[in-house]
Each structure stands twice: as C-alpha cells, then as structure tokens.
Amino acid sequence: MESVDITLPNHWKGLSVYLSSITTMSDNDSLNNEDIILVASLINQNVRYFINDQDILLLKTKDKEFDAHAFKYNKVVDEDGTIHKFTPLSKFLGKKTFEATSINDVSIIGKVLCSFKGISEEIKFKQFSEEK
C-alpha cells in the first residue's frame, strides 16, 4: 500500500490551526472515536468573526483528562434578542445542552474546520511550509 501525505495550512482566516484526536461515544453522529480534526484556535479572539450557526466548536473544560469538549453551536434570534445554544455532540461525561445570552460568557477555544475519519497508518500530516 502506498503512503499518502496530506499538507495542511498553518493558518485559516489569520488563525493558527492544529490537529487533535477525538475521544467520544457511539452516540456522536458527527465525529467518531479517534477521528482526527483540524481546529482553528479561537483563544484570545473575537469569536463572533469566525463562528457560524451549526459549527462544531470546542469549549474549554474543567475535566482534567481533556482540553475541551465538542458542542454544536446554534444562534437563535427572535424578538427578545439572541440566544447562543450549545449542544454536546455526545453524552460523553454527562455534558448537557446550555444557552448563553452573550457569546463572551462561553469559553470557546476552537472551531472544527474538518475531520478525518478512519485514518490509515499510511497517511501522514504535514504543515504547509511557505517558500521564501
């Protein structure tokens, strides 16, 4: 079997990107256990410029074993204002849906740009290096 190299960008819309693996349960319809995701870092950013309805976002967690938990984001606008709804992708560790009136009240650390399912040992990821 041949080896495949996947070249990844260093940035997306000016944000640094990184790869991360997923730990989840079988009830997750979006991501599988041990998937690899490409994440845009939203730490110390004005997230409003980078997130959209239906995005999968990584929220900071207090669980010592994990850096973040993945939630589906929904922006609900009605006559009373805007509600930011976050629904966990899985019941993993008992995470629950919650809402916030201000996006700044939520510790969003990243946005999932894409995922790679069923990664073979013959696939290698490389960061894009710009020629000078």
Per-residue pLDDT at 64:
79
Compute the C-alpha angle 123/51/125, nearest 5°. Answer: 10
Spatial CA neighbour of 72 closest among 84, 90, 54, 60 = 54
Per-residue pLDDT at 128:
64
Per-residue confidence of the chain (132 residues) as pLDDT tens digits?
566 777 778 889 999 999 888 888 888 888 888 888 999 999 999 999 999 999 999 999 887 788 889 999 999 998 989 999 999 998 877 789 999 999 999 999 999 999 888 666 666 676 665 443
CATH of residue 44: 2.10.109
**Whole-model pTM over 0.95:** no
132 is a domain residue: no
Q: What does the alpha-carbon distance between residue 27 and residue 32 come to, in Å, rounded to a whole number?
A: 9
Per-residue pLDDT at 131:
42
98 is a domain residue: yes
Task: Map tokens 């999932």 to a residue.
Answer: 112
- Give the residues across from 68 on adjacent strands: 60
Q: CB neighbours of 70 closer than 8 A, spacing ≥ 6?
A: 22, 24, 30, 31, 56, 57, 58, 59, 88, 89, 90, 112
Per-residue pLDDT at 121:
67
Per-residue pLDDT at 132:
38
Counting the structural domains of the chain, the total is: 1
Range of the domain at 108: 4-127
22 is a domain residue: yes
104 is a domain residue: yes
Pull the structure tokens for residue 59. Answer: 């929220």
* 103 phi and psi angles, rounded to 5 deg: -65, -25
Per-residue pLDDT at 7:
79
Q: What does the alpha-carbon distance between residue 125 and residue 102 come to, in Å, rounded to a whole number?
A: 37
Spatial CA neighbour of 108 closest among 40, 54, 53, 31 = 40
